[in-house]
Structure 1
């Protein structure tokens, strides 16, 4: 298309879906930087060839399909060499069934239908079902850890605690404020933080997490009603996000994915 108006419309459609592609690529790689590199590579591929959008699928499905093609062709590996615990995490990821985590994330976090996932991954629906089932089994059997929850709503905190414990993890405690979170972090070892954005005393969950990460390096899952606000790529941002209101499967998936990138020695091989 050469029409300028059409170009603007297409760009706007892509821009509207970019935050969600960023969320997906970051969850796959466990890193804002690595995930955003894949997002940029996807945009560059679209700029070179827009023909993959010449079909009846939605912009979002086509965008994710473009990314998936790049992800598969790159060997589903990361450009940077890793060492220590992160190398061990990558080793665990490499042992998982190909495309299983991808299918699970597309279903639970991005909430695509099975038919859409099949279109994105270029497989049939039965294969999508098999991959999701396999991912759930493999993730559940590999990782155990200690989780800190930062959440000021008692009912939500109780729900998250139950979900995390059903996965086999230990919840070290629930903090309702910035101060409580820092105190809990000083008193207990933890492998993962699951945090709300707005806390009881109007303090920031992001600020609490930043203070906790001064002394350690663990994955963080943020819960927010406005995920697109934390997915701009303009500043340091979380690799793992859950949208409010959330489903149990979303928390399960995000926790299991994030645990693969835990920086402590609690990964179980």
Structure 2
């Protein structure tokens, strides 16, 4: 397969990523062009054995991070609200966040793109989560009937700088909690203590308020039915703490950008 056929399909996505990193499409496209010029000059720098999309992003990242200016936080550029929020995240954590939240890479692939060990990538994601939490601190309602899991989730939420509105073990408790606290995010299990459904609880809550929901469940097949709507955020149990942190940050960050008036500070 030719190099152009491997690289071509990746360019629209790479332009999106470059624009998010740089704050403008013109600046982002200049970096994308520089990557393409480097490939034309020396095609051997492209590893044909690697995943093509992962490899294109890896080469872009190498060039981007080789520029000293990209390792600094520049507050002088004119930006819209989205760009200002992204720019407020320190450079490497911002890249880690965008690779997973915007570009859809899993943690292993994103770590390879950034050329860091998985443990270091998890540290970058955690740092991004804390910095995002400082921007969009919110209250989080937890719907979970297992006490130890609920405690773990409370710790993760608070570690990101958010406030736990409360923990509900049943559908009725969940709806009452949401009515009373008006949370900015809901973490929900599917099967609850009294045999009631976390999905039914969430549907009832969403009739009351618009709020992002992350389902954390051992039964993802009960949600992935192939019908619409399906949940935007779904984490399978047993979960990794880093995954939960990353998805919480993603849900709050993008919900805040879409609905800035709905922000609920802790």
TM-score normalised over the length of structure 1? 0.57
Size of the aligned set, in residue pairs, is: 190
Which residue of the partner structure matches residue 125 of structure 1? 116
2:143 and 2:187 in contact (8 A); partners too: yes
Matches within 5 A, 1:1-269: 55-57=48-50, 62=51, 65=54, 92-93=85-86, 96=89, 97=91, 99-103=95-99, 110-112=106-108, 116-119=109-112, 121=113, 123-125=114-116, 129=121, 132=125, 135-227=128-220, 230-231=223-224, 234-260=227-253, 261-262=255-256, 263=259, 264-266=262-264
Which segment drifts farther, 87-96 or 148-157?
A: 87-96
- Structure 2 vs 1, CA of residues 133 and 164 (structure 1 numbering), >3 Å: closer, same or farther? closer
> Which stretches of structure 1, 4 residues or longer, exceed 6 Å deviation after superposition?
66-69
- Structure 2 vs 1, CA of residues 223 and 95 (structure 1 numbering), >3 Å: closer, same or farther? same
The structure that has the greater radius of gyration is 2
2:217 and 2:236 in contact (8 A); partners too: yes
Report the Cα offset of residue 267 of structure 1. Answer: 6.0
- Structure 2 vs 1, CA of residues 91 and 211 (structure 1 numbering), >3 Å: closer, same or farther? farther
Higher relative contact order (CA 8 A, sep 6+): 1
Please list every run of 5 or more consecutive structure 2 residues that lacks an aligned counterpart in the other structure. 2-46, 62-79
- 2:244 & 2:176 partners in 1: Cα distance? 25
RMSD over aligned CA atoms reads 3.8
Which segment drifts farther, 138-147 or 228-237?
A: 228-237
TM-score normalised over the length of structure 2? 0.58
User: Secondary structure, in 3 states, of the residue corresponding to 2:229?
Assistant: coil
Please list every run of 5 or more consecutive structure 1 residues that lacks an aligned counterpart in the other structure. 2-53, 73-86
User: Secondary structure, in 3 states, of the residue corresponding to 1:213?
Assistant: helix
